[in-house]
Amino acid sequence: MRYIEIGIGMAVAILIFLAIQGIDLLPVLFFAGLMAAFFYGNIKRTGNKSFATVSKGAADEKLVSFDDIGGQDMAKGELCEALEFIKDVEGIKTLGIRPLKGILLNGPPGTGKTLLAKAAAQFTRSAFLAASGSEFVEMYVGVGAQRVRQLFKQARDMAKRNHKTSAVIFIDEIEVLGGKRGQNAGHMEYDQTLNELLVQMDGISENDAIRVLVIGATNRIDILDPALLRPGRFDRQVKVDLPDKKGRMKILQLHTRNKPLANDVSLADVANDTFGFSGAHLESVANEAAILAFRESSGTITAQHLRSAVEKVIMGEKLDRIPSSQEKNRIAVHETGHALLSEYTLPGSVASVNVVPRGNALGYVRQTQQDDMYLYTVDYINSKIAVAIAGAIAEEMFLGARSTGASNDFKQATDLAKQIVFGGMSELGIVSPEDVPKELLHNTITGIIKQIECQVRTVLTNHQTAFTLTVDTLLAKEFISGAEFRVLLNGDEQAA
């Protein structure tokens, strides 16, 4: 305040001197007013007011522990090991271990990165602050750097007030703040903000009264600046991936523990049907199932509620769009083609067949698989191509012509064929994607798809009776389950 008073006094003295000299003060006062407004707004926007989210404890919110997070056992194990360095201070000094300064959580959206950071703060009994990378950068130069300094100071001050010896700073979407320098030629604010974060992380010392751990989260690790990723800043990179079948089962148990489930509900079946779902998707499935039960005034959540919820999360809500009878017949033929080839190439893979419009689809086949797969053989990819093109071929065989509804199917088939080529599984052998001539690539992809197309025609021809029966059932019911479809396909109820 003393410096402000001195500055104001000097400004008044200069104005009086200029007035005595006969100089017009109106332009000077106008310019001084603009400068005062700018600095006042900047100080007010970036001053002592906190922009980070503070975890206040059980009185204000439910504390998150690692037991509340399912499907991320490996990520939790790596994170807990790193956090032990904060808890066991004397032990790490005995072995001469340098405490980790930063942990980077990398994975798809909805996999629980924020929950892991909150659980880390609870595990270490630390003060917890959360901020998003987008909150640091504005058009005003220096604002982001000031906010970084403010964040670290706030973390230490909050830990002192709460009589804690450590603090956890969580920065979500850190790629906004930590992108590679030099990418924004016309604006140095991004680079200055990242430089300040690097300096602050370098300033973390094992001898500090308050030990600070920075946890960052991103799904774009490829665009982060190398200086941020080096040891001594983000020492650990923890992969937070989509959960496997066992993990999905655990997540579903967590999200249904406060919900009344009917006796016919099998969470193992739901976990099996939700391959590729994140934790956020599974939470939405449990919530949507409860909403459906509430709509129907049901006291419990049934297996049908959960199946409908899975389809709603995948495809969206049912639409009021009502196709004509001719279009509906074409949709039924198209989807039956997909379903028949799916069941033929991978028995038990069809979960349901629908001709009810949802989202952007007029109809769809929901597929599932018994086991999670991470490596694909050429036979498996060929089977996926067969399923993709079966709808269009069924239209051509049974209705005389194809329609525009197969455009996405063809794109999927082409992408799968490219996987075969670039995976070294085609007649070209091992090739480089950059060196393959476009004409040669086109001819190879066309050859792969044409060969599979002949196989699809043979399968559809050999199952015409079951095909026609499935189409008629779909037109009557609009929906059949996988078990019902297998009965129609095999003509024997024992096949289910």
- Least trusted range by pLDDT, from 50-59, 94-103, 373-382: 50-59
Judge whether 96 lies within some domain. Answer: yes
Q: Is the pTM of this model over 0.75?
A: no
Domain with residue 307: its CATH number is 1.10.8.60
Is residue 245 pLDDT above 90, yes or no?
no
- Least trusted range by pLDDT, from 30-44, 164-178, 270-284: 30-44
- 334: closest CA among 297, 387, 260, 298? 387
- Of 315, 340, 367, which residue constitutes the final position of a domain? 315
- Of 207, 239, 271, which residue constitutes the final position of a domain? 239
Other beta carbons less than 10 A from residue 70's beta carbon: 22
Is residue 140 pLDDT above 70, yes or no?
no
Indicate if 179 and 258 belong to the same structural domain: no
Domain with residue 373: its CATH number is 1.20.58.760
Is residue 196 pLDDT above 80, yes or no?
yes
Indicate if 76 and 208 belong to the same structural domain: yes
Is residue 205 pLDDT above 70, yes or no?
yes
Q: What are phi and psi of 42, to 5 degrees?
A: -70, -40
Judge whether 215 lies within some domain. Answer: yes
pLDDT category at 448 given cuts 50, 70, 90 is very high
pLDDT category at 48 given cuts 50, 70, 90 is very low
The per-residue pLDDT for 385 is 95
Over residues 347-363, the pLDDT tens digits come to 888 888 988 887 777 88
At 82, list the tokens. 């790193």
**Domain count within the chain:** 4
Indicate if 59 and 34 belong to the same structural domain: no
pLDDT category at 387 given cuts 50, 70, 90 is very high
Is residue 413 pLDDT above 90, yes or no?
yes
More confident residue, 478 or 36: 478
Over residues 167-184, the pLDDT tens digits come to 888 888 888 888 887 665
Indicate if 276 and 399 belong to the same structural domain: no
Contact 132, 172 (CB under 8 A): yes
Indicate if 9 and 72 belong to the same structural domain: no
Judge whether 212 lies within some domain. Answer: yes
pLDDT category at 38 given cuts 50, 70, 90 is low
Indicate if 257 and 227 belong to the same structural domain: no
More confident residue, 119 or 457: 457
Indicate if 254 and 213 belong to the same structural domain: no
Q: Rounded to whole angstroms, how far apart are CA atoms 483 and 485?
A: 5
Judge whether 424 lies within some domain. Answer: yes
Over residues 73-92, the pLDDT tens digits come to 888 887 887 777 777 777 77
Judge whether 320 lies within some domain. Answer: no
pLDDT category at 441 given cuts 50, 70, 90 is very high
The per-residue pLDDT for 237 is 86
More confident residue, 340 or 8: 340
Over residues 449-471, the pLDDT tens digits come to 999 999 999 999 999 999 999 99
Judge whether 282 lies within some domain. Answer: yes
Indicate if 105 and 30 belong to the same structural domain: no
% of the chain with per-residue pLDDT over 70: 83
pLDDT, mean of residues 406-422 = 92
| CA Rg value for the chain | 31
Judge whether 374 lies within some domain. Answer: yes
Domain that holds residue 355: 325-495
> Which residue reads 């391959």 in tokens?
275
The per-residue pLDDT for 7 is 64
The per-residue pLDDT for 28 is 66
Q: Which of 65-74, 108-117, 283-292, 322-331 has the highest mean pLDDT?
A: 283-292
Indicate if 178 and 279 belong to the same structural domain: no
Domain with residue 165: its CATH number is 3.40.50.300
Indicate if 215 and 281 belong to the same structural domain: no
- Quote the mean pLDDT of the chain: 81
Q: What are phi and psi of 484, to 5 degrees?
A: -65, -40
Marked catalytic residue, from 135, 283, 335, 484: 335
Judge whether 208 lies within some domain. Answer: yes
In one-letter notation, the amino acid at residue 272 is N
The per-residue pLDDT for 335 is 93
- Least trusted range by pLDDT, from 96-100, 323-327, 368-372: 368-372
At 39, list the tokens. 């600095």
The per-residue pLDDT for 30 is 67
Buried-state track 387-398, b at ≥16 Cβ within 10 A, e below 16: bbbbbbbbbbbb
The per-residue pLDDT for 20 is 74
- Of 239, 257, 274, which residue constitutes the final position of a domain? 239
Task: Give yes or no: 78 in active site.
Answer: no
pLDDT, mean of residues 101-111 = 87
Indicate if 217 and 276 belong to the same structural domain: no
Indicate if 269 and 401 belong to the same structural domain: no
